[in-house]
Amino acid sequence: MTAHVPVLTDAVLQYLGPERGGLFVDCTVGLGGHSKALLETGATRVIGFDRDPDALAAARLTLAPWADRVELVHADYRSFDEVLDRRSIGSIDGALADLGVSSLQLDSEGRGFSFQRDEPLDMRMDTTSGDTAADIVARASEEDLANAIYNYGEERFSRRIARSIVNARREEPITTTGRLAGIVRRAVPRRGYMRIDPATRTFQALRIWVNRELEGLDRFIESVVRRLRAGARLVVISFHSLEDRIAKHTLRALEQKREAGSTVTVLTKKPVTASDAELAANPRSRSAKLRAAERVA
């Protein structure tokens, strides 16, 4: 696996301000890179949760030097209220959500997130439950496939791709990344040089569908804001336009409400993106967008 470099770490620290101390929640702890930075900079305590058991195991190693100040929980970020309620935690000093697929998931063999290797078509972030991408590809109707590929992958050839998938599965089940990628590539018309592989958008769409990545994101943001102390902040990092749009609109709506329990000031009128230096050191930061908001009294 490639060495993990968490994205936009300087901006995360700038907006969250862990040097003040306090309790911070890393809602998608991943390999633990951002939590490590928070603890090194002064966070008193971190609760990190992730739905991927492999990620939690890696984070446990990364954060071992702070084991007495870290609690790691196997949970989806949408279980935010439930996780904190079980611990009788009413308010927090900051929260971070680094959304999307992690470098661990992309690089690990057998997870099915990438078509760079021919492997089982899984794509689940939580490998302990739920349907795999192969299950969805096998059962979904042509219309549902086309709509998902269009809505989640922003793929204009979604109907052609869905038709090709349905025709191919009649001959033989589609169970590997290599076979699915080949079906998609043949379905997309080629017109000269293509900057990205024709299968990229379809794989993104299936991954979002399998993991329900957009479902409940707005409610999650609202839940976090309600838990923030006055002056505490939420940082959301997204990697594609659909996530970023939800984060932007939800934070703006909360800012405009000015109601008790949902009063925030948006700190990033435009999303923060990686500097040229970070892009050179960590190409995966290219599509990262960071938005931040502060709870006001």
Q: Measuring CA to CA, how many Å separate 177 from each of 1, 121, 139, 253?
A: 19, 5, 17, 39
In the predicted model, is pLDDT for residue 3 greater than 80? no
- Band (pLDDT 50/70/90 cuts) for residue 104 is confident
123 neighbors 135 (Cβ within 8 angstroms): no
- Band (pLDDT 50/70/90 cuts) for residue 2 is very low
3-state SS, residue 176: strand
| Phi–psi pair at 25, nearest 5 degrees | -115, 120
Instruction: Quote the pTM value.
Output: 0.92
pLDDT tens digits for range 165-217? 999 999 999 999 999 999 999 999 987 667 789 999 999 999 999 999 999 99
147 neighbors 141 (Cβ within 8 angstroms): no
In the predicted model, is pLDDT for residue 1 greater than 60? no
Would you state the structure tokens that stand for residue 275, as one six-digit string?
């500097």
3-state SS, residue 258: coil
pLDDT tens digits for range 28-86? 999 999 999 999 999 999 999 999 999 999 999 999 999 999 999 999 999 999 999 99
What pLDDT, on a 0 to 100 scale, did the predictor assign at position 258?
62
- Supply the mean pLDDT for the chain: 93
What pLDDT, on a 0 to 100 scale, did the predictor assign at position 4?
65
Average pLDDT of the segment spanning 19-24: 97
| Phi–psi pair at 63, nearest 5 degrees | -100, 10
User: What is the distance between the alpha carbons of residues 6 and 210, in angstroms, rounded to a whole number?
Assistant: 24
Q: Which domains does the chain have, with CATH numbers?
A: 9-100+214-295 (3.40.50.150), 110-211 (1.10.150.170)
DSSP letter, residue 4 = P
User: What is the distance between the alpha carbons of residues 151 and 168, in angstroms, rounded to a whole number?
Assistant: 22
pLDDT tens digits for range 253-296? 999 876 545 589 999 999 999 999 999 998 889 999 999 999 99
- Band (pLDDT 50/70/90 cuts) for residue 98 is very high
